[in-house]
Structure 1
Amino acid sequence: MQPVTAGTQPGRTPKPLPTWIKLRLAAITLVKRSRLSNVIALPFGKILKLDAPANEIAAMEFVRANTTIPVPKMLDIYEPQPDGSAHILMTHVPGTVLSYALPKMTTVQIQSVVSELSGYLAQMHQLVQPAQAPAPASQAPTIGGTAQGPGYDHRLGPRVWGPFHTVADFHSYLRFGEPLEDWVHEPAVVEVHGKPEGEYQVRFSHADLAPRNIMVDPKTGKITGIIDWEFGGWYPEYWEYTKMHCAPRPQWEQWFAAIDKEEGIQKYPKELAAEEAIWLRAGPFGYV
């Protein structure tokens, strides 16, 4: 299935925000006397996300149409902008954010969540990148956003990047364009980025599978939804694993232990070591 964006939603005509939603937002602003959050709970089990990026819209629709992964169902699109962003009306995902539930969960329960997650990852990583026409049959898969345009991931700064047509070009971007010879003191980077083209498959990834983006049923521990698909797109196969470990928190130690124990999740220790070396050199402003 071809990924869809805010401007190409089949059967949906973008429209202005309904008056009842505008009144609701005005009331919230008046009561809280502060700037609105970009995610607003509405009556009747609905959620409004303001200024959702085009890539998040495309990622949710693509995954929902091609897997059984529980993602919010999009109901309507309002006020699309030239950059493809729009306000989106979605179904509310039931359950509790996993990051809130973790402290009360047993090791067995956490392992069960990770096991269920591994099944969803397997589905996601089997998604096929739609062919872009006209394109030569030999063209390598694109590394970038869901619709194979520019990607976005806060790991790479506040701007969009790419798309890239080789893993080597993506790796060069990760190194700030510096030649591999400048990284001789980081053997993991040299080893990973020096691998021949084709060594890594390009797979669809959520790219931010932290406990804050996973919803669970507090009674059963079953995953009820995976949210925040803003970074979703096509990446080298190790990206999902290394991004899980980006900016770790001490309170998530049991989560990481469960990931390392889960046989259904492929581990990429050398790639993680390479990423950690780059994170250290990049600092907070490496890709600004």
Structure 2
Amino acid sequence: MTRFLEENSTTPVATNMKHWSDSTSNIFLMDRVPGESLQKIGGKLVWEDVEVLAEEVADYLVQLRKFTSDKLQAPDGSLMRDKHFSPESTLNFWTSDVDEWWARVESSIRDKSRKNLLREQYSLCIKPGGPFVLTNGDLNAQNIMVKEKHVSGIIDWERGGYLPEWWELYQLEEFENGAWGRALKRALAKRNVVPSEAAKTFGDKFLQLF
């Protein structure tokens, strides 16, 4: 993911990533991104500083959303793990095929009387053929690196890839309710990146599914 971004966008990411593995582990090595995380230094910044950072991240995100795919996948075509529409105890991958999704999760569904509703909502939330947009999927303050009050890097792209257009906004709404989340959502709204109906209702529709 970071290699694709380095070669095809201006998004600041960790560079020179190397990977190797053995029988027991996977090891990644990369250059250190300059600066400190927004989570670490956020208390030293005033609201106007946070707004500047949000504007910069929003610009990068809009740039990435121009890359689209008809499949839920990483830029290299590999599958992405689904930890949201599947039980966390199982290894499953994102899919836009509702029949494939239901076949793998049906045995874990708590209330099987919701079958028809869940299948319908899944098809509305994740439309077959997309288009799906390239995004980070985890723009929390810990993953925003800051130097001299500007974004010096965006790190931890393991959840990134081609995902539903509403996914990033849902993640922000769910996990970033503080100043950073408010500033970033406001900056995205200026760029006409706003929650779709799927994003607004996703949590309620799939709450306590398993």
CA contact (8 A) 1:93 1:215 kept: yes
Give RMSD over aligned pairs: 3.5
* CA deviation vs aligned residue, 1:197-224 (integer Å, no higher than 9, x gap): 479521112111111111011x3x2111
Instruction: Give SS of 2:134's match.
Output: strand
Instruction: Deviation per CA, 1:94-152: give whole Å up to 9, x if none.
Output: 111111222222111111111101110012111244xxxxxxxxxxx111334333212
Alignment deviations for residues 58-115 of structure 1 (CA, whole Å, 9 cap, x no partner)? x11111111111111125333x2589x7312211111111112222221111111111
Residue aligned with 1:91, SS: coil
Indicate which of 180, 190, 203 corresponds to 1:276.
203
Number of the residue aligned with 2:182: 257
The counterpart of 1:182, out of the listed 106, 114, 120, is: 114
In structure 2, what residue type is equivalent to 1:64? Answer: E
1:209-220 to 2 correspondences below 5 Å: 209-217=139-147, 219=148
Counterpart among 227, 245, 258 of residue 173 in structure 2? 245
Residues in 2 aligned to 1:160 and 1:64: alpha-carbon distance in whole angstroms: 29
- 1:100 is aligned with what amino acid? K
Which structure has the larger Rg over C-alpha atoms?
A: 1
Q: Take 1:143 and 1:125, find their aligned partners in 2: how far apart are those partners?
A: 14
| Runs of at least 5 residues in structure 1 that lack an aligned partner in the other structure | 1-58, 130-140
3-state SS of 1:234 partner: strand
Task: Tell me, in whole angstroms, the C-alpha distance in 2 between the residues paired with 1:269 and 1:126.
Answer: 17
Could you tell me how far 1:228 is from its partner in structure 2?
0.8
**1:64 to 2:6 alignment:** yes
Supply the distance in 2 between the matched residues of 1:118 and 1:86 (Cα, whole angstroms).
32
Structure 2 length as normaliser, TM-score?
A: 0.77
Contact 1:150–1:162 (8 Å) recurs in 2: yes
Matched, 1:76 2:18: yes
Indicate the residue corresponding to 1:162 in structure 2.
93
- How many positions carry a matched residue from both structures? 202
CA contact (8 A) 2:98 2:122 kept: no
Q: Do the aligned partners of 1:192 and 1:271 also contact (CA within 8 Å) in 2?
A: no
Alignment correspondent of 2:135: 205
Letter in 1 for 2:92: W
- Closer, same or farther in 2 for the Cα pair 1:265/1:214, shift >3 Å? farther
1:1-288 alignment, distance < 5 Å: 59-78=1-20, 80-81=21-22, 86-129=26-69, 141-156=70-85, 157=88, 159-164=90-95, 166=96, 168=98, 176=105, 182=114, 193-194=123-124, 197=127, 201-217=131-147, 219=148, 221-248=149-176, 253-262=178-187, 263-264=190-191, 266-268=193-195, 270-278=197-205, 280-282=207-209, 286=210
The amino acid across from 1:101 in the alignment is I
Q: Distance in 1 between matches of 2:26 and 2:182?
A: 38
* Percentage identity across paired residues of the two chains: 20
For 1:99, the aligned partner's letter is Q
Structure 1 position 254, deviation (Å)? 1.2
C-alpha distance in 1 between matches for 2:124 and 2:43: 41
The one-letter code of the counterpart of 2:204 is A
Quote the Cα distance in structure 1 between the aligned partners of 2:15 and 2:166: 28
TM-score when normalising by structure 1: 0.58
Judge conservation of contact 1:69–1:226 (CA < 8 Å) in 2.
yes
Shift of residue 158, structure 1, vs aligned partner: 5.4
